[in-house]
Chains A and B, each alone.
Chain A
Amino acid sequence: MTAEFWVTQTFNGLSYGALLFLLASGLSLIFGVMRIVNLAHGSYFMLGGYVGLSVAWRTGSYVLALVVGALVIALVGVVMERAFLRRLPGQTLGQVLMTIGFALIFQDVALLIWGGDPYTIRVPASLSGVLTAGPGRFPVYRVFIVAVAVAVGALLWLALDRTRVGAMIRAAVDDAEMAQGVGIRVPRVSLGVYALGAALAAFGGVVGAGFLGVYPGLDFEILPYAFVVVIVGGLGSLPGAMVGSLMVGLLDNFGKALFPELSYFTLFAPMALILALKPTGLFGRV
């Protein structure tokens, strides 16, 4: 094991964690406000990647792919929340079955539209290439992903911590009934948060399509990662999603590099350990 191995793998883990943060922060926020276990969240990631792919094909613009991918899936999220999920408040099993139903439909629709081949979104020339520093080689695109995740994390934190809307969301997370009682329109907050979560996942999907690619089955492959992140970090907690994403990214990467056949064990065993010590996750309160 050379220094190069450790530097490269650590960086790869960091950048994968950054991508997971985009996905899991939305899942965590949605859960915090609505208490919904959203099994369609991985589908938003995949669909975002596919929509971004089509936009990139038509227009050749990567930025447009990011924006349109996120907006289209936010719209899908709005329809799902308003027309379906809102009818099942507090029914955990019903929500699980409904969101998995949507996930199956999305999977089949994606197969129908984009076929079974894997695709990669072509990233701009300024984001391709490799930086070299000391023993490490850092692909520019992965550096970009880390930067994007840091920016999104900072924006989310500022929005939640420093704005009026953020205060409303935090109030709804803490106690939806009391929030409603003091005049916050919780259903509208829920809708907004759900759309934001779906948009973040889709945004992550477009970013991820630049190096993971996008392919059938990506939805159910990425979903457990998002779940482990929020389980480790604590449901509904933004710092939890940050720390959880980093941990999962690093664990997954080193697990795959060091013990390829048992890589899922190296990811899930620490999760089990954390839960045994702290059943609500590192930053969870409920």
Chain B
Amino acid sequence: MIDRKVVAGAVAVVAAAVLAPFLSSYPLTLLTQVAIMAVLAMSLDVLLGYTGLPSLGHAAYFGVAAYAVGILSTERQAGFGTCFVVAIVLAGIAAAVFGLVAIRATGTYFLMITLALGMVVWGLAFRWVSMTKGDNGIAGVPRPDAGLPWNLGAPLPFFYFALAAAVLAWIALGILARSPFGLTLKGIRESESRMRALGYNVWLHKYLAFVIAGVFAGFAGVFWAYYNGFVSPVDVQLVTSVETLLMVALGGPGTLAGPALGAAVIVFLKNFVSVYTKRWLLILGAVYIGVILFAPRGVLGAFRSSHR
């Protein structure tokens, strides 16, 4: 049986791909942003939705990769291939190191530790001025030349580029979720002690999930740096991490397509609201509270049933 969410997601992707040539550049850049943020949200879903680990510092790996692309492509004029590989490896290393600290903790401690670790990266981005240019950020990141026949500087080819990347990430994470490894993660989410009693190495599974989530967040970060042309501490700050959590919670954790939809809702909402009013933080804050208070159990269902 084919999952209805997968079908809906595939229809959305095809519809976006078909409609894209008829759109003007503003909606097109928004759609590009949705594709990239969807990858970030899906990567967090591996942790939150499948493993039951609510990370509050997920922007760190996204940011490490974005900074790697920013620094390499502006200071070293590195090409797409080099940037891509180095960025993903660095994001993976960051997740592997942080995971060693974070996976020891459970529940609330996990939340707080991932928050603090995320702040380490933010602190470096903000204070390590000789490397990151501090608060000014790294401007002028050129669009990549990935050896494709199209000029990725134009909005439409870049949208297809980002969409293809998002679909690849979706397929890869979908295979992961349905694999024995992914099913073990779900088992850990439901009952850690049961899985341990059954002889699974719970720590290793959680740790690998943490690193994989970090790598895919880095994958999103690479495209974000190229899309934005600009990398700054805003990309790694706490609010970005929490926004990603909101995307996952809004769309329904543990479904991949759901968090991608959540990403779309948040990206469109943020952009439309900020066009009409300067008070978008106020409205975004109200959205957070509204989602928690009034959204039906389904929105947070997967998480609630697994915790108490």
Contact = CB atoms under 8 A, between A and B. Distances in A.
Interface of B is mostly: helix
Interface stretch (B116-124, B174-182, B204-212): B116-124
Contacts of B292: 88, 94, 97-98, 101
A107 interface: yes
Interface stretch (A46-54, A144-152, A190-198, A257-265): A257-265
A108 B285 CA distance: 9
A231 B300 contact: no
Contacts of B286: 101, 105
B274 to A, nearest CB: 12
A31 B109 CA distance: 11
Contacts of B239: 100, 104, 220
Interface stretch (A7-15, A123-131, A164-172, A275-283): A275-283
B115 interface: yes
B245 A97 contact: yes
A265 B108 contact: no
Given A37-B108, A276-B104, A98 B120 contact: no
A114 interface: no
Given A37-B108, A93-B300, A263 B127 contact: yes
A118 to B, nearest CB: 15
Interface in B265-308: 279, 281-282, 284-289, 291-293, 300, 303-304, 307-308
Contacts, number: 142
A98 B293 CA distance: 9
Nearest to B117: A268
Contacts of A33: none
B51 interface: no
Contacts of A111: 281
B111 A92 contact: yes
Contacts of A97: 242, 245-246, 249, 288, 291-292
Given A101-B284, A108-B285, A263-B127, 19 more contacts: A88-B292, A90-B308, A92-B307, A93-B245, A93-B307, A96-B111, A97-B249, A100-B288, A101-B285, A104-B281, A104-B288, A223-B238, A224-B238, A230-B112, A264-B119, A264-B120, A267-B123, A275-B104, A276-B104
Interface of B: 48, 54, 56, 100-101, 104-105, 107-109, 111-113, 115-117, 119-120, 122-124, 126-131, 237-239, 242, 245-246, 249, 279, 281-282, 284-289, 291-293, 300, 303-304, 307-308
